[in-house]
Amino acid sequence: MKIIKLNAIDSTNSFLKEMVIDSVVENFTVVVAESQIKGRGQQDSLWLSEPFKNLTFSVYISFKNFKIKHKKNLLFAISLAVYEAIIKETKLHISIKWPNDILSGNKKICGILVENSIQKDKIRHSVVGIGLNVNQINFSEAINKVSSLKLLTQKNYDLDVLLKTIVSKLKKRINQLENKEFEKLEADYLKVLYKKNTPTMFKDSKGVLFMGFISGISKEGLLQIELEDETIREFGIKEVSFA
């Protein structure tokens, strides 16, 4: 595993994507920033992190023969790897919020951004950005429902140890992906999915409230919610939220 450490950078994902364009990059190369100025989350949202307190890094993953139609399993593998690493190091009770946030209770402790390079019907490689709140204890009032490992356990964590554990778990889960263990990945993901099979109030992109429960993930990777009349609606990212 090759680790590149940077003092300060706009975005580790952007840096690593440029590296891939300009040079041959070893599989599972990691770019980690002690301070990330313009970290990006899903749908171009910002990921704000206090310098030297958290893990903000990106991992390069190349594939031999991974078809884009199986893309949802990549998200399963990555989020499960991070989930398992956090549990190994902290013993916290956590869950995965669709598609790939990590929560403790209803508070976010980790965000994941996956950017894929596609050629025809295959994903050639992915750049996976991970932002994990570790030793930070003060957060902006503008950011709702966030926490950190230190706030939850009252312990300080070694960032290098956490990083190595995450990458180790990532290699194992990506190996399952390469071996086409898709049913195993999906089953493991659904077991720890936030609010799975729990009656919940949701809000759609038009602001309409409705009751239902998360029943699964569609073939295309959409969130499936069963309504009170037992019909199932499917939603993409940003099309539905918890009310």
Q: Using one digit for the tens of pLDDT, what is the confidence trace for 40-51?
A: 554 455 556 788
CATH no. of 200-242 = 2.30.30.100
Give 38's pLDDT tier (boundaries 50, 70, 90).
Answer: low
State the average pLDDT over residues 201-217: 97
pTM of the shown model? 0.93
**Cα separation, 44 vs 41, whole angstroms:** 6
Give whole-number Cα distances, 43 to 73, 129, 229, in Å.
20, 13, 31
Q: Using one digit for the tens of pLDDT, what is the confidence trace for 46-83?
A: 556 788 999 999 999 999 999 999 999 999 999 999 99
Segments making up each domain of the chain, as ranges: 3-191, 200-242
**Cα separation, 29 vs 43, whole angstroms:** 24
Fold annotation for 3-191: BirA Bifunctional Protein; domain 2 (3.30.930)
Q: DSSP readout, 191-226?
A: HTBTTBT--EEEEETT--EEEEEEEEE-TTSPEEEE
Give CA 17 to chain center in angstroms.
Answer: 18
